[in-house]
Amino acid sequence: MAKKKLLNAGAGTTVAKRIQPLLTSHEWEEVRLDVDGSVNPDIVGSITDLAKLCRPASFDAIWCSHLMEHLYAHEIHPTFVQFREALKPDGFALIMSPDLEAVAQHMLTQGLGAVAYVSPAGPIRPLDMIYGHSGAIEQGRHHMAHKTGFSCDRMGNLLLSAGFPTVSVRSGNFEVCALALMPEAEERRIRPQLEACGFDFRETVIAAP
């Protein structure tokens, strides 16, 4: 039986630990895409050019962790449209980005320089979540700068406007997390797989009108 293909959009250098329960199963094959060829991705290029890089309906899932904020605001909608076109009719996209509403609340109560959490890259402060990780940018990785931002409402509405019929969005730990389902996606099959990875989208469904 052929394996299902998951596109890791913006793979970077780190292992996608949060979805390892999915990738370590015999059911899935990871395809890594990144604009930085030095991280040895399977596909070198920008997600804004996904239609040129991949054939339509070629992936069962798309994993996009903290990448969309590196695009300009006007690039988000067409990129989400390309996500939908790259997915099979029963596929899904799982997308994470900083939650600017949560960041703003932390900044107002704790201050701009207060550490929000500690990541593998080091302490993360509001400035890092709003403008991009300062350490990476200082090292010359200017593509790591942030050019737009999201709340749950904005992320959900953008995915719906891109043509996904069902979208679930939740917020936690300074992060917006969205699950966008294709028309033939089997929620009863997909949700338990994602719950095993720590993503619980129960009672967060936003359906297109």
Q: Whose CA is closest to 152, among 173, 126, 170?
A: 170
Contact criterion met (CB below 8 Å) for 182 and 87: yes
Predicted local distance difference test score (pLDDT) of residue 112: 86
102: β partners: none
Predicted local distance difference test score (pLDDT) of residue 138: 86
Encode the chain in three state secondary structure.
CCCEEEEEECCCCCCCHHHHHHHCCCCEEEEEEECCHHHCCCEECCHHHHHHHCCCCCEEEEEEECCHHHCCHHHHHHHHHHHHHHEEEEEEEEEEEEEHHHHHHHHHHHCCCCCCEEECCEEECHHHHHHCCHHHHHCCCHHHCCCCCECHHHHHHHHHHCCCCEEEEEEECCEEEEEEECCCCCHHHHHHHHHCCCCCCCCCEEECC
What do you get for the CA distance between the two ends of the chain, in Å?
37
Predicted local distance difference test score (pLDDT) of residue 205: 65
Predicted local distance difference test score (pLDDT) of residue 201: 87
Q: Whose CA is closest to 63, among 99, 15, 106?
A: 15
The 10 Å Cβ neighbour count of residue 1 is: 5
pLDDT tens figures, 132-182: 988 888 888 888 899 999 999 999 999 999 999 999 999 999 999 999 999
Encode 38-78 in three state secondary structure.
HHCCCEECCHHHHHHHCCCCCEEEEEEECCHHHCCHHHHHH
Predicted local distance difference test score (pLDDT) of residue 121: 77
- Superfamily of segment(s) 4-99+149-207: Vaccinia Virus protein VP39 (3.40.50.150)
Predicted local distance difference test score (pLDDT) of residue 109: 94
Predicted local distance difference test score (pLDDT) of residue 19: 87
Contact criterion met (CB below 8 Å) for 102 and 71: no
Predicted local distance difference test score (pLDDT) of residue 16: 72
Give the residues of the chain that fall short of pLDDT 70: 1, 14-15, 203, 205, 207-209
Using CA atoms of 51, 53, 55, 56 in order, give the dihedral in degrees to the nearest 10.
-30
